[in-house]
């Protein structure tokens, strides 16, 4: 998914390439926005996201959505670590 996105948009950021790829923030934002649209069945007029930690390609993550807020968490050994959070309206 990351490789396709980087290739499609001509992303040359070295953090998004190599053995340990960081997922581009725009890819994360696009994915979460689509999730929000599927849940609300409407296009958000305002979308806000705060990145706290990097998300790496091929790691297990979960997205929690509560009302108009979301949380992206890394899942590792049955524990979670907050990677990003935000809201939409």
Architecture of domain 2-88: Roll (3.10)
Whole-number average pLDDT of the chain: 89
Sequence ranges of the domains in the chain: 2-88
pLDDT digits (tens, 9 = 90+) for 30-40: 888 888 778 77
Average pLDDT over every residue of 60-89: 92
For the sheet with 69-76, list strands across it: 47-51, 79-88, 69-76, 61-66
Residue 52 predicted with pLDDT over 90: yes
Q: pTM, whole model, 2 decimals?
A: 0.84
pLDDT at site 86: 94
Give yes or no for a contact between 57 and 74, defined as CB atoms under 8 angstroms apart: no
Share of the chain above pLDDT 70, in %: 99
Residue 68 has pLDDT above 90, yes or no: no
Spatial neighbors of 43 by CB under 8 A, at least 6 apart, are 37
3-state secondary structure (DSSP) of residue 87:
strand
- Per-residue pLDDT band for 84 (boundaries 50, 70, 90) equals very high
Q: What is the dihedral of CA 28, 1, 9, 64, to 10 degrees?
A: -10
DSSP letter string, 45-82: S-EEEEE-S--BTT--EEEEEETTEEEEEEEETTEEEE
């Amino acid at each position: 998914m990351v490789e396709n996105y980087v290739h499609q948009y001509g992303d040359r950021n070295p953090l998004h390439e190599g053995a340990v790829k960081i997922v581009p923030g725009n890819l994360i934002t696009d994915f979460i926005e689509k999730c929000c649209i599927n849940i609300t069945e409407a296009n958000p007029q305002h979308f806000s996201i705060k990145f706290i930690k990097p998300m790496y390609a091929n790691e297990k993550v979960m997205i929690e959505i509560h009302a108009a807020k979301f949380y992206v968490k890394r899942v590792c050994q049955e524990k979670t670590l907050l990677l990003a959070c935000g809201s939409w309206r």
